[in-house]
Structure 1
Amino acid sequence: MNCLSLKCRRLGNPDAVCGLRNLIRREAPALVFLSETKLSSSEMRKVTASLEGYCSMEVDSVGRSGGLAFLRRDDVRVSFRSASVHYMDFDIGEEGVMWRLTGFYGSPMVQDRYLSWQLLKNLAEENYSSWLCIGDFNEILYANEMKDGSRAQWQMNNFREAAMFVGCGEGVRREFRFEQIWVGEAGCEDTIRRVWEDGDYDVLETISRCADELKKWKGASTSKILRDLNRKRKRLSWLNENERFIVNVKERRRLMGEITHLLRQEEMFWRQRSRTLWLKDRDRNTKYFHRKARQRKNKNNIKHIMDSQGTTCEGVEAVKTTAVGFFSLIFASSRPEQFDELLDGVRGRVTDSMNGQFRAEYRGEEVFEALNQMHPLKASGPDGMNALFYQTY
């Protein structure tokens, strides 16, 4: 399935519509995302009517700025998720497999671009095994992407940080992480039990399959929490402004309980990312946890590194290659020989009894005790499962 993303910069004149029509006829894309159409929904539908075999969904322009449209071929199965003036989000069905497509339009105003990056991060928090994000971000990752003019370094840094967060910067894939807010969620335990009861795999492969299935399972995420909070707060505000009938009072109490639960989930989410584990949750420290999480991510992000020749290397692959080369060199053995004289002067400190303990087989009780001594939210292993997963399930 092929997709096409275009920045139209006004689609109202006949020449632009003719160019779009010819391009679609030549490429025959299954899906098309258009940004800066500068058209209303009714105007965009007239354009779509001239494209045989396609239908569209539109987001109105604000005056004569912005405007989005998503076109699909009639034979493509699409399910709408959400949209705003800056994005359109869909589930795509292809040969029995569902994947997610987001058309994104970054703010053209520099002072508002940080809001675009926050929106992009919120969209990325919705767990999905396959996600494609296309569109016009109105920003570049590196200065060499710009032929003419210049771009402030802080602007590119902010975009790179957002791209790395969502896993679409330089081909970086977002790592799976078991979330604390999933514990107790309907469906999480069922998903794990269903995988674990399939006894055709060894332990490590079963844990890996748990991670894959949890990615597919739509558990709580920060963007979903924020959407639910906003919707329930609006409803609660409406109830507070109207007469308090018995039915309204009951609904108001229910909404207040649900809002409290969502606020608790949001706080847990950001506490896990902040690694500020000495500070207890339940005290509405969400803003503090969020700030600490951002500080920690910025501190741990290596933007460039200097190699042994004094050359500065930028980009994920260059930094990775330089770091691996450095540590491979200092930890590699030169394979020296004739150790006997050196070792003759070293007194042995490990007795036979101690050596026997070190070489003994691990017992299940020892593993269980060590596991329960670990902090539930400390750094997870390569499989994305922290101690909380093993302690709970």
Structure 2
Amino acid sequence: MKLICWNVRGLGMPRTVRRLQHMLRDINSSVVFLIETKLRSAQIAQIRRRCGFINGIDVDAVGRSGGLSIGWRNNCDVSLRSYSQRHIDVLINDDADGKQWRCTRFYGAHEEQHRAAAWNLLRQINDTPETPWLIIGDFNEIAFLNEKQGGLTRSDRQMREFRRVLSDCEVEDIGYKGRWYTWEKGRFESNNIRERLDRGVANSPWLNLFPRYVLNHLSHSFSDHCPLLLNTQDGEHSNKTWHFRFKATWLLEDSCEPEVQKLWATSVGSTPEKLRQVGVGLENWFWKLKMARKVTVKGLKEQLTQLCEQNPIDDILAEITDVKLNLNFEMEKEELYWEQRSRVNWLRNGDKNTTFFHRFASQQQKKNKVESLIDENGDSIDTNESLLNLATRYFTDLFHSDGVSSPAPILEGVEPCITNSMNENLDREFTKDEVLKALKVMSPLKASGEDGLGAVFYQRF
């Protein structure tokens, strides 16, 4: 199971929501826990569902601070134990491996005067010591001085109180992979502060239940907290079939127009044949572009991780900002791809915050797949060969005719409505201007024709 925990520092901006969607789509986690949503529960529920987590529990923000949300997919059985402004405590039954364990999402108090109440909350819910228990979240505190760099020295008393509550609850730090800190503030060396405020802690039964777990500190391009990715087991991956189709994202590439010009100049034959050759060439170009995109995004994330692990001098902090901007730009290209998949103009002219945007895009492939059919005998069939044979028989019978001696009796009741003048206009050859005019008024991102080259291709080239 994969679990994401992140202090997002507010989800009121559409750009932040899009970044969250991109990350969740890339990781494909089963459970997500969001801290500091700064939204009402109804608002965060909409965002959670838009990200693909139909099931969930949401806690209102208080004014402009706080707000919690946990979402899970259908392959998880999650039941609520308790919740507050500081925590959501659930019991997870993982269908993938049949394991049951307890998970508490925690948000520690930012103000020192409220820390004692937050620690006592953990002590109060520590009522099932035999149950495997994981606590994960933003504790807003460090355990030792080496978990902080820059700024004022943390009070030893505060750190001692934090370590004491972990001891009282009989949980221990589960460690991490990635950069050492999870929170950062300040873009210049003189005011830069880094701390490890977010972590996971667990009791012995949980550690015994998941001996091969991994907790990663992920890189990101927004929020001052980094996401935590917990993986309790190896995931399974499935291969997806890809078919050629000209994608509007390619127009953002400097090499797109020269590539089209080169392919058109080297193609031979009739216009449809030349377009087919252009499509084949663009298909190969796309795969190279896609591989390069993966390498670019992966490289930017790795570069960001390496930079964040270095001493925060001004040059390094400036480079971090530059890498984040480049990473955001690559994600904008990915977002345009999802717009085209949705086949709707909801994101046009910058209005990108729609409720069912990703739902429509993700369901497009599902709508194009036939899972099963009912045959002539009322039996359900679902194998590929049986589906193909049944569909072939059905449409063969549908479009088969035994013939009629004369259609005259059928046509007697049909009144003519097409005049000779209208018929002449309909039979006229299309002119170049008419075709160009029709192409210009077509929606650029609607479904393409047989050649895979949509209206946006012809409008541009």
Length-normalised TM-score, structure 2 = 0.44
State the match for 2:453 in structure 1: 385
**1:385 deviation in Å?**
1.6
Separation (CA, whole Å) in 1 of partners of 2:382 and 2:335 = 35
For the Cα contact (< 8 Å) 2:267–2:277, is it kept in 1? no
Structure 1 233/338 Cα, relative in aligned 2: closer, same or farther at 3 Å?
Answer: closer
Counting only pairs closer than 5 Å after superposition, residues 117-136 of structure 1 correspond to structure 2 as 117=237
Q: How many percent of aligned residue pairs carry the same amino acid? A: 29
Higher helix fraction: Structure 1 or Structure 2? 1
Separation (CA, whole Å) in 2 of partners of 1:257 and 1:289 = 24
**1:309 deviation in Å?**
3.3
Separation (CA, whole Å) in 2 of partners of 1:389 and 1:186 = 15
Are 2:397 and 1:329 aligned?
yes
**1:237 deviation in Å?**
4.9
For the Cα contact (< 8 Å) 1:225–1:266, is it kept in 2? no
Are 2:250 and 1:185 aligned?
no
Structure 1 287/387 Cα, relative in aligned 2: closer, same or farther at 3 Å?
Answer: same
State the match for 1:243 in structure 2: 312
State the match for 1:312 in structure 2: 380
Separation (CA, whole Å) in 2 of partners of 1:227 and 1:359 = 53
Structure 1 371/236 Cα, relative in aligned 2: closer, same or farther at 3 Å?
Answer: same
Classify the secondary structure of the residue corresponding to 1:197.
helix
Counting only pairs closer than 5 Å after superposition, residues 1-393 of structure 1 correspond to structure 2 as 115-117=235-237, 162-163=238-239, 166-167=240-241, 174-198=242-266, 200-217=268-285, 218-221=287-290, 225=293, 227-239=295-307, 242-245=311-314, 247-248=315-316, 251-280=319-348, 289-393=357-461
Separation (CA, whole Å) in 2 of partners of 1:375 and 1:305 = 34
Structure 1 294/250 Cα, relative in aligned 2: closer, same or farther at 3 Å?
Answer: same
Classify the secondary structure of the residue corresponding to 2:373.
strand
Classify the secondary structure of the residue corresponding to 2:252.
coil
Listed one character per residue, the Cα deviations across residues 208-239 of structure 1 (whole Å, up to 9, x for unaligned) are: 11111112224543x75455334324433544
Structure 1 277/323 Cα, relative in aligned 2: closer, same or farther at 3 Å?
Answer: farther
Structure 1 unaligned spans of 5+:
1-64, 66-108, 118-161, 168-173
Separation (CA, whole Å) in 2 of partners of 1:233 and 1:281 = 29
**1:198 deviation in Å?**
2.9
For the Cα contact (< 8 Å) 2:344–2:445, is it kept in 1? no
State the match for 2:120 in structure 1: none
Indicate the larger mover: 354-363 or 265-274. Answer: 265-274
Structure 1 219/226 Cα, relative in aligned 2: closer, same or farther at 3 Å?
Answer: closer
Separation (CA, whole Å) in 1 of partners of 2:276 and 2:324 = 38
What amino acid is the match of 1:200? V
What amino acid is the match of 2:270? D
Separation (CA, whole Å) in 1 of partners of 2:233 and 2:386 = 31
Separation (CA, whole Å) in 2 of partners of 1:352 and 1:366 = 22
Separation (CA, whole Å) in 1 of partners of 2:302 and 2:266 = 44
Structure 1 204/287 Cα, relative in aligned 2: closer, same or farther at 3 Å?
Answer: same
Separation (CA, whole Å) in 1 of partners of 2:342 and 2:247 = 13
Q: How many residues align?
A: 231
Length-normalised TM-score, structure 1 = 0.51
For the Cα contact (< 8 Å) 1:188–1:219, is it kept in 2? no
What amino acid is the match of 1:328? T
Considering only CA atoms, is the larger Rg found in Structure 1 or Structure 2? Answer: 2
For the Cα contact (< 8 Å) 1:181–1:220, is it kept in 2? no
Indicate the larger mover: 248-257 or 372-381. Answer: 248-257
**1:207 deviation in Å?**
1.1
**1:392 deviation in Å?**
1.4
Separation (CA, whole Å) in 1 of partners of 2:423 and 2:254 = 48
What amino acid is the match of 1:116? E
Indicate the larger mover: 186-195 or 361-370. Answer: 186-195
Structure 1 343/283 Cα, relative in aligned 2: closer, same or farther at 3 Å?
Answer: closer
**1:267 deviation in Å?**
0.7
For the Cα contact (< 8 Å) 1:180–1:269, is it kept in 2? yes
Classify the secondary structure of the residue corresponding to 1:183.
helix
**1:305 deviation in Å?**
0.9
Structure 1 219/180 Cα, relative in aligned 2: closer, same or farther at 3 Å?
Answer: farther
What amino acid is the match of 1:232? L
Separation (CA, whole Å) in 2 of partners of 1:209 and 1:292 = 31
Separation (CA, whole Å) in 1 of partners of 2:412 and 2:269 = 49
Classify the secondary structure of the residue corresponding to 2:414.
coil
Runs of 4+ in 1 over 6 A off after TM superposition: none
For the Cα contact (< 8 Å) 2:252–2:333, is it kept in 1? no
Classify the secondary structure of the residue corresponding to 2:426.
helix
Listed one character per residue, the Cα deviations across residues 173-221 of structure 1 (whole Å, up to 9, x for unaligned) are: x321111111131332222211211363111111111111112224543
**1:287 deviation in Å?**
10
Structure 1 303/250 Cα, relative in aligned 2: closer, same or farther at 3 Å?
Answer: same
Listed one character per residue, the Cα deviations across residues 270-312 of structure 1 (whole Å, up to 9, x for unaligned) are: 2222334324475676996444322332233211112223343
Structure 2 unaligned spans of 5+:
1-211, 213-230
Classify the secondary structure of the residue corresponding to 2:279.
helix
**1:250 deviation in Å?**
5.1
